[in-house]
Amino acid sequence: MAKDKVSMELRPNPKSGRYRLISGNWKMNLNHLEAIQTVQKLFFLLKPQDYSYSEISIHPPFTDLRPIQLLIDSDKMRFTLGAQNCHFEPSGAFTGEISAPMLAKLNVSYVIVGHSERRAYFAESDEVVRAKVEAVFRSQMTPIICVGESYQERQDGLTSDRLHSQVDSAVSFLSPELASRCVVAYEPIWAIGKGAAADPKDAQEGASIIRSIFEELWGNSVSSKVRIQYGGSVNPSNAKEFMDLPDIDGLLVGGAALDPDAFARIIQA
């Protein structure tokens, strides 16, 4: 049975004025039956006030989107539906692909674009990421643009260069209005799925570099609105440290989002 609709509105962070966003990226895990159970369990673990600090987006595999959309709607759950990827063309002969308009039709609001696993295993270039950002906005959704340096790039002192080239390529063509609506996930590749998250100091440094790129491109009126997530081995014990950082507005959570207990504790942190 659905919980009573909560009157508590989502509140912005009083320090930054930005709305926080915590996103669960399930990757290629959970079939549609497991997905329904997982979302139901998360729903029952969360208390009404848990929804007022952060928007919560869930990014299941494509085959789970329709059942999760129906579940969210029918039980009036305050989760936002997200996807993990899309093709940059709206339709056509691209066997096996899913387009942005198809996702929008399922009430998807956020689409992860340029995740490091897609860049590494599916050869997604900065140009492809840029085309996907455009496609997501064209369908009135919001991209969560993943950027981050490899371990070697960090060792070589190339973190800032890498972030500049990835962010610049993904967003520089946008109008100021669309640029300010972007969500960027700072995901140092060496911290993803490793169980060892970045040091909060490094996460803040990466996020502040990303914000400064928006500032260089459009000035403070845009850079102060862009939301930046941290992603990479977030768990219930380290989530609060990241959420307290001045340039971090949310989290992109992989492994821990598959476990409703852990994900609920991250949201509550």
Task: Measure the N-to-C terminal CA separation of the chain; round to a whole number of Å.
Answer: 26
Nearest in space to 49 (alpha carbons), one of 248, 229, 244, 267 = 267
Separation between Cα atoms, residue 71 and residue 74, nearest integer Å: 5
Residue whose CB is less far from ligand PEP, 55 or 117: 117
| 115 labelled catalytic | yes
Quick note: the x/- pattern for ligand PEP over 11-50, rule CB under 6 A, is: --------------x-------------------------
Quick note: the x/- pattern for ligand PEP over 178-197, rule CB under 6 A, is: ---------x----xx----
Nearest in space to 216 (alpha carbons), one of 208, 204, 206 = 208
How many residues would you count in the chain?
269
Burial state string for 117-146 with b = 16 or more CB within 10 A and e = fewer than 16:
bbbeeeebebebbbbbbbbbbebebbbbbb
Name the minimum Å distance from CB 24 to ligand PEP.
9
Residue whose CB is less far from ligand PEP, 51 or 242: 242
The stretch near ligand PEP (CB under 6 A) out of 131-139, 154-162, 219-227, 249-257 is 249-257
Residue whose CB is less far from ligand PEP, 106 or 258: 258
The CA-atom distances, in angstroms, between 189 and each of 83, 153, 178, 196, 229 are: 20, 10, 26, 11, 14
**Which residue lies nearest ligand PEP, judged by its C-beta?**
254
255 sits near ligand PEP (criterion: CB under 6 A): yes
Out of 55, 124, 153, 187, pick the active-site residue.
187
The stretch near ligand PEP (CB under 6 A) out of 33-41, 101-109, 209-217, 247-255 is 247-255
Separation between Cα atoms, residue 226 and residue 29, nearest integer Å: 30
Burial class (CB in 10 A: 0-12, 13-18, 19+), 185: buried
Residue whose CB is less far from ligand PEP, 131 or 258: 258
Q: Which residue in 24, 114, 254, 260 binds ligand PEP (CB under 6 A)?
A: 254
Going through 26-90 in order, the beta strands assigned E by DSSP cover: 54-59, 80-83
147 sits near ligand PEP (criterion: CB under 6 A): no
Out of 115, 117, 153, 205, pick the active-site residue.
115
Residue whose CB is less far from ligand PEP, 137 or 263: 263
| 87 labelled catalytic | no
Q: Which residue is associated with the tokens 């996460």?
A: 203
Separation between Cα atoms, residue 110 and residue 115, nearest integer Å: 13
Site for ligand PEP in 186-245 (CB under 6 A): 187, 192-193, 231-234
Residue numbers at the binding site for ligand PEP (CB under 6 A): 25, 187, 192-193, 231-234, 252-256
- Please list the active-site residues: 115, 187
